[in-house]
């Protein structure tokens, strides 16, 4: 830290992204990326159409892509906001809607960026505890008269709540904005997108990083009523008008035209999730029921940090947090069957070594 940094940021604890090691090839099951490449049409769209136009700025309004997304989800273009990864959208949510009079609440165990944004903007925030087996009780959020962010399915637990439960939260907090972060919704959960037609205080956040194999392209989006979208636009045009680059825009349009490819990949991931969960159960692991492309699991005989380190030394990366309430657990991204077999083989080796 330099002596010039504003004192506002002296105690800011930044988000620590999952490792992206460049030194050797790992079986990478630590940041919930898709193991599948983008659809062939995406690769063609980038190589042929857009590279020669990179000397020109992209369309700041992203009209073509927003219209495609609007058609895809049966909403209007003015219901769509695009962001540089959904992280940027979450940032704009905290920036636009929260302040000392409008505090924010989110689950105590959830996506680690939420408290970072709250600290960045020096907001009062409440972390609402989860219950047994990391269950989120929707009634903890009903009528609390705060802005609310909930990841559904939740990360890192993988647990989801129902659309009816979300509706109750939105309906009982109409003086505040409820953001449902659906980064992992396409792996078996039920989206609450349609509720945005009924409630003006609901924003749904999704990403192209997981189901749509485009983490490296950085694209997220919000769906909500036009006034909320205009508020997000205000943040964008005060930060970076060209937040979506040309290549990502072309890739995303081709992505939306290849939906069958991604739906099929999601089915494979869901099969591999069931396969991995049951193999781990036979090895004495306890796994939280997941509707995401990862599982949260713990071993009865080896602590989470030790398992993470042992796996890393054998070339497998998973995610572990030191936070006491979840230190026993590891989050394992569900990859291809081959990756999961390599992971399971290394887990068996480790168990033999410790027992």
In this structure, the chain runs to a length of 355
Q: Does 215 bind ligand PMP (CB under 6 A)?
A: yes
Of residues 50, 165, 181, 186, which one binds ligand PMP by CB under 6 A? 181
Q: Does 32 bind ligand PMP (CB under 6 A)?
A: yes
Q: Using CB positions, name the residue nearest to ligand PMP.
A: 85
- Give CA–CA dist 184/294, Å, rounded: 9
Q: What is the closest distance, in whole angstroms, from the C-beta atom of residue 184 to ligand PMP in the complex?
A: 7
Token representation of residue 328? 């026993």
Q: Does 86 bind ligand PMP (CB under 6 A)?
A: yes
Q: What is the closest distance, in whole angstroms, from the C-beta atom of residue 248 to ligand PMP in the complex?
A: 12
Stretch that binds ligand PMP, among 72-80, 82-90, 263-271, 295-303 (CB under 6 A): 82-90
Q: Does 157 bind ligand PMP (CB under 6 A)?
A: no
Q: What is the closest distance, in whole angstroms, from the C-beta atom of residue 111 to ligand PMP in the complex?
A: 4
Q: What is the closest distance, in whole angstroms, from the C-beta atom of residue 274 to ligand PMP in the complex?
A: 21
Cβ atoms within 10 Å of 47's Cβ, excluding its own: 11
Q: What is the closest distance, in whole angstroms, from the C-beta atom of residue 37 to ligand PMP in the complex?
A: 17
Stretch that binds ligand PMP, among 80-88, 129-137, 301-309, 328-336 (CB under 6 A): 80-88
Q: What is the closest distance, in whole angstroms, from the C-beta atom of residue 206 to ligand PMP in the complex?
A: 8
Exposure string over 122-153, b if 16+ CB within 10 A, otherwise e? ebebeebebeeebebebeebeebebbbbbbbb
Q: Does 134 bind ligand PMP (CB under 6 A)?
A: no
- Total residues at the site for ligand PMP (CB under 6 A)? 13
Q: Apex CA 136: angle with CA 135 and CA 137, to 5°?
A: 110
Question: Dihedral angle at the C-alpha atoms of 326, 330, 333, 335, nearest 10 degrees?
Answer: -160
Beta strands 316-317 and 27-28 are parallel
Q: Does 87 bind ligand PMP (CB under 6 A)?
A: yes
- Give CA–CA dist 89/95, Å, rounded: 10
Rg of the chain in Å (alpha carbons): 21
Whole-Å CA distances, 119 to 83, 104, 115: 21, 11, 6
Q: Give the DSSP per-residue string, 188-231.
A: T----GGGGGT-TTEEEEEESSSTTS-GGG--EEEE--HHHHHH
Q: Does 111 bind ligand PMP (CB under 6 A)?
A: yes
Q: Does 248 bind ligand PMP (CB under 6 A)?
A: no
Which residues would be at the binding site for ligand PMP (CB under 6 A)? Answer: 32, 85-87, 111, 151, 155, 181, 183, 207, 209, 215, 220
């Amino acid at each position: 830290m330099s002596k010039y940094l504003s004192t506002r940021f002296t105690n800011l604890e930044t988000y620590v992204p999952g490792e992206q090691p460049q030194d050797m090839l790992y079986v990478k099951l630590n940041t919930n990326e898709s193991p599948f490449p983008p659809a062939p049409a995406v690769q063609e769209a980038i190589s042929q159409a857009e590279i020669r136009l990179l000397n020109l700025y992209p369309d700041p309004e992203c009209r073509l892509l927003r219209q495609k997304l609007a058609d895809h989800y049966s909403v209007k273009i003015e219901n769509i906001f695009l962001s540089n990864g959904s992280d940027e959208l979450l940032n704009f949510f905290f920036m636009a809607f929260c302040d000392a009079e409008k505090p924010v609440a989110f689950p105590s165990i959830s996506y680690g960026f939420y408290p970072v944004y709250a600290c960045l903007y020096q907001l009062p925030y409440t972390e609402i505890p989860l219950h047994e087996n990391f269950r989120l009780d929707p009634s903890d959020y009903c009528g609390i008269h705060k802005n609310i962010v909930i990841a559904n399915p939740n990360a890192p637990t993988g647990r989801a709540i129902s659309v009816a439960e979300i509706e109750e939260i939105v309906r009982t907090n109409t003086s505040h904005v409820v953001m449902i972060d659906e980064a992992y919704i396409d792996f078996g959960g039920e989206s609450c997108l349609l509720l945005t037609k009924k409630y003006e205080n609901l924003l749904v956040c999704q990403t192209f990083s997981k189901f749509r194999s485009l983490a490296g392209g950085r694209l997220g989006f919000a769906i909500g009523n036009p006034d909320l979208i205009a508020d997000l636009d205000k943040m964008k045009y005060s930060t970076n008008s060209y937040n979506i680059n040309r290549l990502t825009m072309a890739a995303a349009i081709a992505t939306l035209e290849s939906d069958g490819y991604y739906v099929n990949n999601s089915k494979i991931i869901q099969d591999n999730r069931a396969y991995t969960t049951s193999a781990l159960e036979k090895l004495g692991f306890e796994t939280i029921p997941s509707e995401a492309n990862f599982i949260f699991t713990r071993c009865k005989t080896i602590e989470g940090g030790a398992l993470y380190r042992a796996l890393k030394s054998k070339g497998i990366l998973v995610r572990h947090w030191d936070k006491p309430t979840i230190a026993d657990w590891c989050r394992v991204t569900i990859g291809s069957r081959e990756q999961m077999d390599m992971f399971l083989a290394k887990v068996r080796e480790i168990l033999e070594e410790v027992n």
